């Protein structure tokens, strides 16, 4: 409480700090100008002599109660509840109960507190990058020490740098596997710290492990591949600071555009037998390209493809591969698809599909083979 009040004073705000067993009690005492700590179980006695104006009720209700000679919270609480509720509403009784600590209104914090944290205040604000690096390294050692004592590892660490003018800047890093090595986390923060703008300097820096997992020590000689897995995860972490790193995993769908999904590179994936299919393109087009086609028979592969205004003769083709629509998500009238692997006279190999049949058939290029 003292730290919060002093921090607000540095920003030019005058505040009253109160700690109580119920938020309504602390709010009423703070509005009356009080400060300090209310012992447990003494919430009702602490607010008994406070004026009604400290309650979050309408001013008209306060005026009406004052005309009846009721000007203190204790005086109103000693009155019968039924007549008060009928005349002034249930909101007034609820405000009285909250102030007396009989009911507690839930508080939803804007940001949940991190599982583990380490912070430090500085008498002389930090301006240079060298000073910031030294401070971050010390905080990382303290944070990793606490994680090790608790048997946990961090998956997401957030650095918050508080400037002397009140601005707060954030830098976050994530890891593929739980980690608590200060050197590894320091390398991840090295490039991200370039984004900080000290201005007149930082007077406080805090590190918080906002996502953690259980982590036990492993001895490489007894766990085969443990060191290799950890080294690979650290490599992915360093690459992720510069580019997007992911791997493909099978999804519960047989439509080509939905049968794979992106997952983190260190995520364990159960790969079914025969996946991926060798006849599929390595990379699909972001959006299928609709083309014109000519086929000798309704079910025959195309003999000519017209891409834009240019016609291309098909030299060889394989197929079709019939894929029916997914009945649990598709429209009942949605047609199936026939896929063909074709080779043009120019040597280009394409993966094309026909949606529908007859005069309503539409042809698309969905990838290159």
pLDDT at 365: 92
Count how many Cα atoms sit within 13 Å of the Cα of residue 101 in the half-sphere of its side chain. 18
What gap in Å lies between CA 348 and CA 368, rounded to an integer? 8
Q: Which domains does the chain have, with CATH numbers?
A: 2-99 (no CATH), 116-214 (3.30.1490.100), 246-273 (no CATH), 284-368 (no CATH)
What gap in Å lies between CA 261 and CA 255, rounded to an integer? 12
pLDDT at 87: 86
pLDDT at 350: 93
What gap in Å lies between CA 129 and CA 140, rounded to an integer? 16
Residue whose entry in the numeric block shows the structure tokens 């005026």: 63
pLDDT at 169: 93
> Among positive and negative, which fits the CA dihedral 177, 182, 188, 193?
positive
Residue whose entry in the numeric block shows the structure tokens 């005058």: 14
Tokens of 334: 């949605």
pLDDT at 217: 59
Cβ-Cβ contacts under 8 Å for 237 (sequence gap 6 or more) = 173, 174, 175, 176, 179, 184, 188
Q: Which residues are bridge partners to 354 per DSSP?
A: 338, 363
Beta strands in the chain (DSSP E): 18-19, 36-37, 116-126, 152-163, 168-179, 202-214, 247-250, 260-263, 284-295, 302-307, 310-323, 337-344, 349-355, 362-368
Tokens of 53: 């104006």
What gap in Å lies between CA 180 and CA 148, rounded to an integer? 7
Under a CB-based contact definition with an 8 Å cutoff, are residues 151 and 216 in contact? yes
Under a CB-based contact definition with an 8 Å cutoff, are residues 142 and 118 in contact? yes
What gap in Å lies between CA 44 and CA 49, rounded to an integer? 10
What gap in Å lies between CA 144 and CA 198, rounded to an integer? 25
Tens digits of pLDDT across the chain (369 residues): 888 888 888 888 888 899 998 888 999 999 888 888 999 888 889 998 899 888 888 888 889 888 888 889 988 888 888 888 888 888 888 888 888 888 877 777 677 778 899 999 998 999 999 999 999 999 999 999 999 999 999 989 999 999 998 889 999 998 888 888 899 999 889 888 888 999 889 999 999 998 898 886 555 454 455 667 777 777 777 777 777 788 888 888 888 888 888 887 777 777 777 777 767 887 888 889 999 988 888 778 889 999 888 999 999 998 888 888 877 776 777 788 899 999 999 999 999 999 887 778 889 999 888
Residue whose entry in the numeric block shows the structure tokens 């090595």: 181
- What is the model's pTM? 0.52
310-313: which pairs have CB atoms within 8 A and are 24 or more residues apart? 312/344, 312/345, 312/346, 312/348, 313/344, 313/345
> Among positive and negative, which fits the CA dihedral 3, 4, 5, 8?
positive
Cβ-Cβ contacts under 8 Å for 349 (sequence gap 6 or more) = 341, 342, 343, 368, 369
């Amino acid at each position: 409480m003292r730290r919060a009040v002093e921090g607000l004073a540095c920003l030019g705000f005058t505040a009253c700090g109160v700690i109580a067993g119920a938020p309504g009690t602390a709010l009423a005492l703070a509005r009356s100008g009080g400060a300090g700590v209310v012992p447990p179980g003494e919430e009702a006695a602490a607010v008994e002599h406070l004026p009604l104006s400290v309650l979050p009720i309408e001013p008209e209700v306060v005026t009406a109660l004052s005309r009846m000679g009721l000007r203190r919270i204790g005086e109103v609480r000693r009155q019968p509840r039924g007549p008060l509720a009928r005349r002034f509403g249930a909101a007034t009784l609820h405000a009285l109960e909250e102030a007396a600590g009989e009911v507690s209104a839930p508080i939803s914090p804007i940001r949940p507190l991190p599982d583990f944290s380490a912070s430090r205040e500085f008498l002389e604000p930090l301006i240079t990058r060298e000073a910031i690096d030294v401070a971050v390294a010390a905080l990382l050692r303290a944070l990793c020490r606490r994680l090790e004592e608790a048997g946990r590892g961090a998956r997401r660490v957030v650095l918050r740098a508080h400037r002397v003018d009140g601005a707060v800047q954030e830098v976050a890093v994530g890891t593929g596997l739980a980690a608590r090595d200060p050197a590894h986390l320091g390398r991840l923060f090295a490039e991200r710290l370039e984004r900080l703008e000290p201005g007149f300097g930082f007077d406080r820096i805090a590190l918080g492990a906002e996502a953690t997992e259980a982590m036990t020590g492993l001895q490489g000689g007894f766990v085969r591949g443990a060191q290799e897995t950890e080294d690979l995860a650290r490599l992915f972490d360093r690459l992720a600071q510069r580019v997007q790193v992911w791997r493909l995993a099978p999804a519960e769908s047989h439509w080509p555009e939905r049968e794979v999904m992106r997952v983190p590179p260190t995520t364990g994936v159960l790969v079914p037998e025969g996946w991926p299919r060798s006849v599929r393109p390595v990379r699909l087009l972001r959006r299928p390209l609709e083309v014109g086609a000519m086929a000798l028979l309704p079910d025959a592969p195309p003999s000519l493809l017209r891409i834009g205004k240019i016609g291309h003769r098909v030299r060889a083709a394989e197929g079709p591969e019939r894929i029916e629509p997914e009945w649990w998500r598709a429209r009942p009238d949605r047609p199936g698809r026939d896929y063909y692997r074709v080779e043009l006279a120019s040597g280009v190999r394409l993966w094309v599909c026909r949606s529908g049949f007859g005069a309503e058939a539409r042809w698309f290029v969905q990838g290159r083979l």
